[in-house]
Structures are given as C-alpha cells and as structure tokens.
Structure 1
Amino acid sequence: MLVKDCLYKDVMKQLLKKDLNTYEHSVRVGKLCAAMAAPLGLDEKQAKWLLLGGYLHDVGKMFVPKYILTKTSALSPHEWKIMQQHTQWGAQILLDYEVEPEIIDIIHFHHERLNGKGYPLGLGGRNIPVLAQICGIVDSFDSMVSDRPYRKGMPIHDAVEELLLHSGTQFDSEYVQKFLTLAPSYGGVYDGQALLCQEGK
C-alpha cells in the first residue's frame, strides 16, 4: 500500500507551521522530482515514490530548533550536528505510518553522496538507493538557486555548473545529465511559488 491519501499533505502542513522556507523548498523539490520521472523512465509506482519522497524529504526538520533553521550566519559545529539529524528524524516519523520503504529511504539517505562523504551513514556508490540519489541532486540544485536565511540564491546557470563540477564524485553523472534535460523550464517550478496546502485550509 502506498502512503495513505493526504498523509503527505497533513505532514506538510505541520512543516509549513514550523518554517515557510523549508516548506516551500520541499514543495519545489517534490515538483522537480515528479518532473524527473519521465527522463528516468520510471514506472507509475516508482514515480509516486519519488514524488512523495521529494515532498517529504525534509520533514525531519520539524524537530530542528527554529533558531537553527532561520539562522542568518554559519551554523556552529554543534548546530550542524543537530541539523544533520533531520534525515533520521524524518525517516523515524514515517516508520509509524503505512509508508513504502522506498519513500523512507529517500528521506533517510538524500544527503548521502557517491564518494561516501555524505550523511547520516556515509554510504557510497551503489549502496545509496537510486531514488535517494535523484532526490539528493534535486535538493542540492534547489538549495543552491533559492534564497536562504544566510545567503541569496545563485543564478540557475551557476547551480548547473556546480552540479557538473561534482558530477562523478558527489553525484552520479548519468542522473545529473537526466536532471539537466529539464532545462530551461525545470517543469515550471520557478515560474511561481504556489503553495501545496492552501486548498482546504
């Protein structure tokens, strides 16, 4: 059974209450993950996993203190350790629901990197679930181009250069190229900032 109908919206509403920037980032990542289904040749079930994993990838940040999420300067080593725990917290939240393990893997492992220098477990190469690798690329791209409390977002072409620079080390080269097939529109994600949960409020 796939994730219960509307469960992700309920969880996302809680994330919205916690932090608007994290919520909007999660919506964009979800939409970009959905756009990746066709270039990757995913079947309907895999596409659904990637879509929902994209929306929910940062749900663990509900347990990160607000002052860390909104800090306008660099995080201290202690604060960074707390921030890194969001992947494990997010995975734990959804273990309590009837959520496919593939979705939980996306949430748990989207910060793992090909070279084994990611977190939380330092997985590398094929040990990282494919859909988590895809979400990691999308998450990194949106993080680069979007404004954060501590910096302005970079131009899209600069973010593309960063992905290419780390292709083959942090990110799988094939999946980066698949992501870049979404250019220049990127699924219309950056044309507006419609909020997922506005309806039915």
Structure 2
Amino acid sequence: NNQDHSLLMGIFAAENVLTPGKHNLWDINSDSEYVEEASAEAATTAATQTRLSRRRQTLKVLQEFGRYLFTGGAATIVDVLVFSILIQSGIWYVFALGISYFLGLSTNFWLSRRFVFGVYWKNWFIQYGVFATVALNSLLANLGLLQLLINELGWHPTLSRLASAACVAMISFTGHKLYSFSSGEQQKLNLENISSN
C-alpha cells in the first residue's frame, strides 16, 4: 500500500472498532489503477491530442500555402499576359505595367479569397485594400532582397530572383493570412496592433 491507502485503511479500521464489520479492509487498494496512474494517463492523452491538433493545423497551413502558390501563379500568368498584350498594342510600358499589375493583383485577391482562405469580410473593398497593402509590402521586400542578393552578395540575377521569390512567397502568405484573410477577433486584434504601432 502507499501512504494514502494506509491512512484510509487506518480510518476504516477505527470505524470498524466502533461498528464491527462496517468496512472490508481488504477492498482498499483492490482497484487496478492508482489515482496517480490515471492522472498520468489523462495527461498523456491530452498531450497526444495537442500533438495531433498541431499536426492538423500544420497540415492545414501547408495545404493553404500550396493553394496560395497555385493562385499566385495563376495571377502572375494573368499579369504577364495582359502586360504582353498591352505592350504589343503600343501602350507605354509603365502604363502597361500598372494595368497588368492591378489585374494580376485583383485576380490573386479573388482566387485567394475563394480557394485558399475562404474568409469574406463584410466590406470586401476594405479587405481588398488590406490585401493590396500586404502585396505592396511584399513587392518592396522582393525588390530590397533582389538588391541585396545581386549588388551586395554578387549572386546571379536569375538565382537571386528565385531566392527572393521563395522568401517573399512565404512572407506574403503569412501577411495575407494574418491581415488580409483573418477573421473575427483576430482581425480586430491585428487592426488594433497596426493602429497602435
């Protein structure tokens, strides 16, 4: 017996002195499971459920990221095609770039909203504005990273472009998940954090 069972047996023995036969002392500690073992098993079960929940969450994020890359690729194709058509039509390349970038951005917004995150704000115009802001920050990060890799580290431009695209894809995805496509309370917290900074 461990100490708590011994104490319980002593109490029951004292009660048996006052009322003979009230308790069967041999029933104490006859169960196969100690309280400590039950608590340990419950803690193990909770830890296992937490690990499974984290794995599911990680898998969900990876699936969203895969869909995000696909929709971003589709938006890039729209951007490049529109740019090529406008250039061939004789439109100045700066205007062509502005128009094609806007159409690519809009395509990316609608596809990401529908097929990646599935989060619809009450006011889609504000959501689009937040999306465009995150996208612009990602574009600036892309340009800065390209400058660093090419000018400072001497990387080849193509290799630099691939590395910056990979990094910025993760940054952009995270920004859109946290800000453009957050929902409910998370959206309020993010907007409060932006306004306080």
Q: TM-score, normalised by structure 2?
A: 0.26
Q: Larger C-alpha radius of gyration, 1 or 2?
A: 2
**Structure with a larger share of its residues in helix:** 2
